[in-house]
Every structure is written in C-alpha cells, then in structure tokens.
Structure 1
Amino acid sequence: MLRVLLIEDEEPALDQLRRFTLQYAPDATIVGECQQVSEAADFLRHNPAPDLILSDIELLDGNVFGLFDQVAVSSPIIFITAYDAFVVQAFEQNGIGYVLKPVQYAQFAAAMQKFERLRQSFQGAALRQLAATMGAAPAASYKQRLVSKTRQGLYLLEVATLHYFQLRHGVTHAVDGQGRAYVLNETLSQLETQLDPAQFFRLNRAEIVQLAAIERLEPYFNDTLTAHLRGTPPTALTSSTHRTPELRRWLGLK
C-alpha cells in the first residue's frame, strides 16, 4: 500500500492532487495534508515517514525548502509548482520529479511511474546489499560536488577543489585554490553534515576549511591557531578559541 503526504496551500490544487493520486493508485492512503511548512515539519516529527511526498514549493508560511532545516526528510518528493526556478534545489533535496502547474494527469502519471521504477530498483538493491553485508553498517556518503547558481548559469563545483567555505554578509561562499568565490544555497551547518569530516573542519562560526588546503599552522592570540592555505592569493584563517582544542585533535596534535 502506498502512503502519500500532500503539501499544498491552495485548496483546488490540493483537491486535484488528491484525485490524481487516487486515480493513479486507488489503494493509496493519503496519510496527511499540510498547507504550511510548519505543519509538514510537525507531521514528519510525529508520524512514520510516508512512502512519497507530493509538495508545492511556495506555501503559506514560506518556501518548502525551509522544511529541510527543521526536520530530517527521508521520503522521496515529487515537487509540483508553478515556478521553474527551483529545479536544481529540488533535486538536491530528495526530489525525484518536478511537475509544472497547471498539472495535466499525463504529467502526474509520468512522475508517479518514475517513482515506482526508482522504488522497485531501490528495494531490489537494498535486498542484494543486505544479503551481501549481513548487517554490516553502510558507509557514510558525502557530497562530491556542489551547485552554485548565478546569473551566468549553474556552476558545478567539485568538492575536492574547494579550499574553504566562508560566511560573507550572511551568504555562504565556496572558495577554490585560485581565490574564486561561488555563492551557495547551503548554510555552513548544512555543509558540516554533507562534507566528509575527515577532510573538512569547522574552524569557527564563519569558516570551514579543507585539510588538504592547509600549508602550515602557526600559534595565534589566546592559544588559537592560524591556518595558512595553499593557493593564490595567500589566505589565512584563524580557529576560534573553543574550536582550537578539537582542531588540534583533528590534526593529530597534542
């Protein structure tokens, strides 16, 4: 049985999603209907994860991507929206489909068919993996690339080429070895969970550094450390007082 959560703030559109869902899968169960990000977050905190989420993007209390800052979302999502500007962000956040309004049933059914194919493929792979590992813990998966959206287009950034991440005027920037800075949608806290902790370290509230980019370290005021980075132009980043002990342990220093 398919368990579906609907997130939509316009009643006619919500009714259409309900009808299309049951038309496509008559035995499906609509486990919840939310009109706001806060409602969806509350539902996901207190209920089992649905098999699928059908979600609008612009809701009564803001953008649905704020949901991912409030609660862990493990369910695949088909985004259904009147805007085409969120495609990249959608597929970075559990998105498996992107349907533009006004929605035609054929478009909806195609997205649902994609979900079914992915679901069957995943279930088969999961069973094979379970048989192969016999309970071994899966290896953590960290981001290998990030996306920077600019007026000129989308830049695909290989994480290995990025020397550090820095908060500038409230906006996260990724900086490479040539000093080129790229704006990111992610917060530094989000990046902390997405990047390999064996390679990246949070120096302070505003900066994350890559281990391979550090050329040398030197003591600084109040027992902190300044990391001098390779590349051009020369860059120096300083750890905060409360992060310095952890930095020393991370680098294998006493």
Structure 2
Amino acid sequence: MQLLILEDEEPAAEQLRRFVQQYNPAARIVGECQQVSEAVDYLRTHPAPDLILSDIELLDGNVFRVFEQVAVSSPIIFITAYDSFLVQAFEQNGIGYVLKPVQYAQFAAAMQKYERLRQALQGAALQQLTAAYAPAPQYRQRLVSKSRAGLYVLPVADIPYFQLRNGVTHAVDGQGRAFVLNETLSQLEAQLDPAAFFRLNRTEIVQLSAIERLEAYFNDTLIVHLKGQTLTLTSSTHRTPELRRWLTA
C-alpha cells in the first residue's frame, strides 16, 4: 500500500507515520507535503497513491484548493481538527473523516473502511474483467437429420421454425419440408441463439427473421404468420408478453 500524507504539523505527521506502521508494517509512505503548492506539484508529477491521509488546513491554505487544480483519483481519509468540512470532504473522494486529537482506534477504523472498499472494488473489477474475456456462447449453426435417403445437413439460419409432431422434433424449412431431429425441443431451445429463436409454446420454436406479421388472437395469444408459408403458429398465453418484448428488443 502506498500512501501520501498532507499535513503541515510535524507532530501530527509523526503520529500518522507511527499509526501507518502499526496498522500495516508493509505500507509505504511515498510522499509528504506541508503546502497546497507542494501537493499539487506532487500529484501532477507522481503516480497516484493508493490512499491519501490529509489535513484540511495546510501552511499556504485550504487543502480543497489542491482539488481545484489537479484531478485526484485516490481515496482520501481526512484527519483534521475542523468538523465543518464534512460535506466538502466527501465530495472530494473522501472515505473517512477523523477528528484530532486522533486515537489509534479511530485511525484503524478508517483504514479498515478503506480496505473493505478496496476489496469490494477489486472484486467488481475482476467480475467485469472476467465477463469481458469470457468466451462467447457457441450456438448451433447446423443440424443433422437422418432418414432412409441419408443424412441431411440443415443450416440453422435456413429453418423458419421447429415443431414437435407426435412427440418427435422436426425442423421445417422454407419450402415446408419437415426433417426429423434427434434433439428434444427443450434441448434445441438451449442450443439456439436466443436473439434469433423464440419458444412460442410447448411444441414450437420460431426464427425471428421468418416472421412476417403477428395477429391478435383470443385470450392474449398471438397468431404468427410466416414469410412464404400458409401455415401459422400460435403463441401460448403465458409466452405472449415475453414474445412482445423479444420482438422489440
């Protein structure tokens, strides 16, 4: 952990050094500034510290003048004799506000809060990184249908809909030809891209690009008219609201 101390009184600065060493012997104080101008120069020319321990009033003015001149990304624990700057402190990356005279227990509590926040942020960043680099789902691009005539290779993009007939899953192409599949309809639903295919009801899955129009039917169901086909499909009552959202996503 790398810390920057902004404090104009040597006894107070020495106390912070002791408290830092007591709290975390591995922590390193990378800089100390007694003036606003010093702090501005340091923050402009050095990497951002992990944490800043800062008084409010420095030798040449209020520490908030620092934040007017340089963007500060590091969290700050304010350690001060003044209790009137609380709102300003938390508007400027403040995560703690400790009043002087400082007791070690107060200092340690503020440091523990910093540790908790850092761990939470690191966990969130790791989740985002993992999600960003997670492999994209691999959806089925083709299916195979076995028949007496041989094997038919069916590009998924060419199948307007899938239908369960007498307990057997069929892929129906644009010419209305039905091909028997080994997969169940539920297995297919999990293997198809949900942005392109939708489960209308217990027995049918439709492809978005194959839909020509929808027609309201009774009991909050929809009749689905397909491009180039006279056959229509029907959404079940409980799937209709999700179908409407899916179509407008």
TM-score, normalization: structure 1? 0.52
Q: 1:69 offset after TM fit, Å?
A: 1.0
List runs of 5+ in structure 1 lacking aligned partners.
136-254
Q: 1:130 offset after TM fit, Å?
A: 1.9
| Cα deviation code 1:218-254 (max 9, x no counterpart) | xxxxxxxxxxxxxxxxxxxxxxxxxxxxxxxxxxxxx
- Identify the residue that residue 99 of structure 2 maps to in structure 1: 100
Tell me the SS of whatever aligns to 2:108. helix
Matches within 5 A, 1:153-232: none
Tell me the SS of whatever aligns to 2:119. helix
- Identify the residue that residue 55 of structure 2 maps to in structure 1: 56
- Identify the residue that residue 8 of structure 1 maps to in structure 2: 7
- In structure 2, C-alpha distance between the alignment counterparts of 1:63 and 1:113, rounded to whole Å: 27
Whether 2:65 is the aligned partner of 1:66: answer: yes
- In structure 2, C-alpha distance between the alignment counterparts of 1:133 and 1:74, rounded to whole Å: 24
- In structure 2, C-alpha distance between the alignment counterparts of 1:42 and 1:113, rounded to whole Å: 29
State, as a whole percentage, how many aligned pairs show the same letter.
78
- Identify the residue that residue 75 of structure 2 maps to in structure 1: 76
- Identify the residue that residue 131 of structure 1 maps to in structure 2: 130
Whether 2:116 is the aligned partner of 1:109: answer: no
Amino acid at match of 1:27: A
Amino acid at match of 2:25: P
- Identify the residue that residue 21 of structure 2 maps to in structure 1: 22
List runs of 5+ in structure 2 lacking aligned partners.
135-249
Q: 1:134 offset after TM fit, Å?
A: 4.5
- In structure 2, C-alpha distance between the alignment counterparts of 1:84 and 1:74, rounded to whole Å: 23
- In structure 1, C-alpha distance between the alignment counterparts of 2:90 and 2:132, rounded to whole Å: 29
Q: 1:44 offset after TM fit, Å?
A: 0.8
- In structure 2, C-alpha distance between the alignment counterparts of 1:129 and 1:24, rounded to whole Å: 31
CA RMSD of superposed structures (Å): 1.2
- Identify the residue that residue 176 of structure 1 maps to in structure 2: none
- In structure 1, C-alpha distance between the alignment counterparts of 2:30 and 2:57, rounded to whole Å: 21
Runs of 4+ in 1 over 4 A off after TM superposition: none
Q: 1:131 offset after TM fit, Å?
A: 2.1
| Cα deviation code 1:45-104 (max 9, x no counterpart) | 111100000000011111101111111100000000001100011001000000000000
Tell me the SS of whatever aligns to 2:84. coil
- In structure 2, C-alpha distance between the alignment counterparts of 1:56 and 1:117, rounded to whole Å: 22
TM-score, normalization: structure 2? 0.53
Q: 1:132 offset after TM fit, Å?
A: 2.2
- Identify the residue that residue 185 of structure 1 maps to in structure 2: none
- In structure 2, C-alpha distance between the alignment counterparts of 1:100 and 1:134, rounded to whole Å: 44
Whether 2:45 is the aligned partner of 1:42: answer: no
Tell me the SS of whatever aligns to 1:30. strand
Amino acid at match of 1:107: Q
Amino acid at match of 2:70: V
